Structure 1
Amino acid sequence: MFQGLRTVVYPVDNLAAAKAWWSRVLGVPPYFDEPYYVGFSVNGYELALDPHGVAESGTGPVTYWGVDDVDAAVAALLAEGAREHAAVTDYGGGIRTAVVTAPDGSLVGLIENPHFPATPS
């Protein structure tokens, strides 16, 4: 079901300050920079900043696993005892995400992104 790790999304209160800090730390500007989301490409992975993420994740980051079909992955994880945390959201361009809560309380992000190649097994 999982293709590999794809994205870590950090919830931020001050997007401009977080973007400036991560740009300095990573030594690169973001490849995607909008008021609702900032993304950095870091050696094949994405580090993202989400000014609305606190509502979705609480105070910590959410790690997103790549999947072929986010609806099927959510269904499989719910069947294994997870609970829906954030429903499937369509961001356009074939990019869809969801977050479930594992039985231990941890958050598990899922991302369907046809622009991100699958990791060979």
Structure 2
Amino acid sequence: MTNTPQLRGMANVSFWAEDVKAAREWYTELLGMEPYFERPTPENPAYLEFRIGDSQDELGIIDKKYAPKAASLSGAGGAILYWHVDDVPGMLKKLKELGATEYDPLTERGVDWLTASVTDPFGNIIGLIHSPHYKEMWDAVQKAMA
């Protein structure tokens, strides 16, 4: 193993919520699963994690009181992490039905490319993308593992 500085992949995306219990309920409904990790307790969570997607990426929900002091958490903003989905319009509809608000509308970015984003009820931005590059990469990974 080398010690070459490099970004090797997303390890965790952290979302903030003033009401972690409410966020747990909302994300459990959205994802169709309970968090696999909660601290300090499920009755009084300050942090919880879900493993989601093809690569079992980590989504952490953290009590806003632990946010970095320099973070501006007064409204939606910052970097947008786009999650690949096969059906962007369908996922956008589901998110809105669960109470998310449109941040960036459904936009065609080219042949077989779609993006959209919403703000969850806790002020976090969820990006959606259908990317042929993601599908090509995932198919190649699956073929190499077979």
Larger RCO (CA within 8 A; separation ≥ 6): 1
TM-score normalised by length of structure 2 = 0.41
Q: Which has the higher helix share?
A: 2
Higher strand share: 1
Greater C-alpha radius of gyration: 2
